[in-house]
């Protein structure tokens, strides 16, 4: 009898875990371009509206249901198998999407991304992926192995976590949802040193870190930018062009009003560094 196979590279739940750990490790190391690349992959391949979003959502909901009753655990397993049949209807497009995801991870983050981090409850992740992959054409001679997988998943779901997760999934998703808007505007591809400084602290606090260092960084950049714009307010090109000088005055006023607790303010602060570069060029 052929053993059930599991390919961790095609397990979207594990891939998500690898990527979020890569973001966390890169932020802690101050490697913002690498964090940007990992976040961009999440945005392009696993975000809402992508081919793999539904599978990832189901996978994560099952993992988060740990600690439930045995009755509910069996129901979850049944629902998981039914979802696998539904997903099987578009298996070709899902397979293509997974191949594209693996290719981009290998190319931008290195092939060892799939072995770089230890994922707790790896077998549970594998069990979910195996059951989701069991479509309507599942082979009868695999039934015993499938039953073992189901039993393991029920055992996992009815158990209590024995250790604190190494990565806070909710905090990481919060960081992703807030930071991805910045990366989508190309910050992740061409960060200057000042923008990298802001973004490093911003993602760090979004991952649950102390807000004080971020707020100090925000204020330091705001003060420097405000002073820079005020100095250049007296440049000849601004003195001779009322429209340009009015826009510069508006920018200075806007800088004063930025709130570091607001995502849009972080984005605008980074954009003002672009304005600074334009004035200097």
pLDDT by residue (tens digit) across 54-113? 999 999 999 999 999 999 999 999 999 888 888 776 778 889 999 999 999 999 999 999
Write down the pLDDT at residue 233. 75
Q: What single DSSP character describes residue 9? A: G
> Average of pLDDT values for 188-192?
62
Write down the pLDDT at residue 99. 95
With a cut of 60, say whether residue 14 has pLDDT above it.
yes
What confidence tens digit (pLDDT) does each residue in 227-276 have? Answer: 988 888 777 776 777 777 788 888 888 999 999 888 788 888 988 888 88
Question: Residues 80, 135: contact at Cβ < 8 Å?
Answer: no
Most confident of 35-49, 60-74, 128-142: 60-74
Helical axes 53-64 vs 12-29, angle rounded to 10°: 80
Write down the pLDDT at residue 183. 54
Q: Is 121 left (phi over 0), alpha (psi -120 to 50) or beta?
A: left
Does the pTM of the predicted model rise above 0.75?
no
With a cut of 60, say whether residue 168 has pLDDT above it.
no
Question: Residues 62, 158: contact at Cβ < 8 Å?
Answer: no
* Residue of higher predicted confidence among 101 and 174: 101
With a cut of 50, say whether residue 2 has pLDDT above it.
no
Per-residue pLDDT band for 136 (boundaries 50, 70, 90) equals very low
């Amino acid at each position: 009898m052929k053993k059930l196979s599991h390919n961790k590279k095609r397990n979207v739940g594990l891939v998500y875990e690898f990527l979020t750990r890569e973001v966390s490790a890169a932020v802690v190391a101050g490697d913002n371009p690498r964090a940007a690349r990992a976040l961009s992959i999440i945005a392009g391949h696993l975000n809402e509206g992508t081919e793999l979003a539904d599978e990832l959502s189901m996978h994560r909901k099952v993992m988060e249901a740990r600690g439930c009753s045995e009755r509910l655990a069996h129901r979850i397993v049944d629902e998981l198998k039914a979802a696998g049949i539904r997903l099987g209807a578009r298996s070709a497009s899902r397979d293509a999407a997974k191949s594209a995801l693996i290719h981009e991870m290998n190319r931008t983050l290195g092939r060892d991304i799939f072995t770089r981090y230890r994922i707790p409850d790896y077998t549970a992740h594998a069990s979910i992926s195996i059951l989701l992959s069991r479509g309507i054409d599942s082979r009868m001679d695999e039934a015993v192995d499938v039953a073992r997988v189901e039993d393991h998943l029920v055992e996992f779901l009815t158990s209590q976590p024995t250790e604190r997760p190494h990565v806070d999934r909710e905090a990481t998703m919060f960081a992703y949802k807030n930071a991805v808007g910045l990366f989508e505007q190309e910050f992740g591809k061409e960060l200057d040193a000042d923008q990298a400084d802001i973004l490093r602290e911003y993602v760090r606090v979004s991952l649950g870190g102390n807000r004080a260092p971020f707020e100090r960084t925000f204020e330091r950049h705001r003060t420097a930018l405000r002073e820079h714009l005020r100095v250049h307010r007296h440049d000849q090109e601004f003195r001779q062009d009322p429209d340009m000088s009015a826009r510069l005055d508006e920018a200075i006023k806007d800088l004063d009003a930025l709130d570091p607790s607001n995502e849009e303010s972080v984005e605008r602060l980074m954009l003002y560094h672009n304005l600074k570069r334009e004035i200097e060029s």
